[in-house]
């Protein structure tokens, strides 16, 4: 009788340990997403504020996940789960390189980055237009509930990507495809500023030929700066389209790895 009781107690302990390990691994995958995703990783949010929703989501999702084999659980498994969450969040950051390309192109044409071009220095302040457009895109992504779509991908990924496995769809061609998509989106969104400032520079060159006494440096900057505000206003009208393209590129990359079994 004592032997049977001892065996049942040991089996209960093993099941309890497996359930605790499942909860920990699920929370680690969610934590990676909350640490790297631009919508959830603001410095203004303390780490404790991020851990609370991670634990809540883990408690809800963990009972739906199959118990892992305790003999295969190790530190590499924990780091692998953290890496999966980090890659999911970082994919959106890579897709948002389109906004960086657009803002850098506009700043260069408008003359806002003239000081950084002449004297590159890391101590100089960051691109103001980049910060403005980046925050606007993040706000629209929040409104569109894109962060909930990423959380849903993580919550449903444990069936297709069990513990201790790496998504086969996340390889170098997929990463290069995501970066190419971000570059193409930023380049297409920058075409308007390219055409506008090409026409402006052509007109300034024509004015310089007609009246060489004019100082093109002062005249050109007084024209290019207001044009930048006009371009920003036009880009603001296309923010829903821009955010849809960015989120679609990132979600396609995530689905290629996490939902490959569906």
Secondary structure letter of residue 66 according to DSSP? P
Secondary structure letter of residue 72 according to DSSP? G
- pLDDT category of residue 6 using cuts at 50, 70 and 90: very low
- pLDDT category of residue 8 using cuts at 50, 70 and 90: very low
Q: Are 158 and 259 in contact (CB under 8 A)?
A: no
Tokens 């979600």 — which residue?
A: 251
Tell me what pLDDT residue 106 has.
77
Percent of the chain, pLDDT > 90? 0
Whether residue 2 has pLDDT greater than 50: no
pTM of the complete model? 0.78
Spatial distance between the Cα atoms of 105 and 96, rounded to a whole number of angstroms: 15
- pLDDT category of residue 71 using cuts at 50, 70 and 90: low
Tell me what pLDDT residue 34 has.
86
pLDDT digits (tens, 9 = 90+) for 101-121: 887 777 776 666 555 555 555
Domain boundary assignment for the chain = 2-258
pLDDT digits (tens, 9 = 90+) for 111-166: 665 555 555 555 555 566 777 787 888 888 888 888 889 988 888 888 888 887 88
């Amino acid at each position: 009788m004592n032997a049977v009781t001892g065996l049942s107690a040991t089996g209960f302990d093993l099941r309890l340990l497996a359930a605790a390990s499942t909860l920990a691994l699920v929370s680690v995958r969610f934590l990676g997403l909350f640490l790297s995703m631009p919508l959830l990783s603001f410095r203004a949010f303390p780490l404790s504020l991020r851990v609370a929703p991670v634990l809540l989501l883990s408690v809800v999702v963990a009972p739906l996940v199959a118990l892992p084999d305790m003999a295969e659980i190790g530190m590499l498994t924990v780091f692998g789960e953290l890496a999966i969450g980090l890659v999911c969040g970082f994919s959106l950051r890579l897709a948002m390189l389109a906004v960086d390309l657009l803002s850098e192109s506009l700043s260069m044409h408008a003359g806002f980055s003239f000081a950084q071009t002449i004297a590159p220095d890391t101590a100089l302040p960051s691109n103001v237009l980049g910060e403005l457009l980046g925050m606007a895109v993040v706000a629209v992504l929040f409104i569109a509930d894109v962060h909930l779509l990423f959380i849903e991908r993580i919550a449903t990924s444990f069936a297709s990507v069990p513990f201790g496995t790496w998504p086969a769809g996340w390889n170098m061609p997929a990463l290069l495809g995501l970066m190419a998509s971000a570059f193409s989106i930023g380049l297409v969104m920058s075409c308007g500023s390219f055409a506008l400032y090409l026409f402006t520079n052509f007109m300034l060159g024509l004015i310089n030929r007609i009246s060489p006494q004019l100082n093109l440096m002062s005249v050109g900057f007084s024209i290019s700066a207001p044009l930048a505000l006009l371009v920003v206003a036009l880009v603001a009208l296309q923010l829903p389209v821009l955010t849809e393209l960015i989120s679609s590129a990132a979600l396609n990359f995530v689905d290629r790895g996490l939902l490959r079994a569906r």
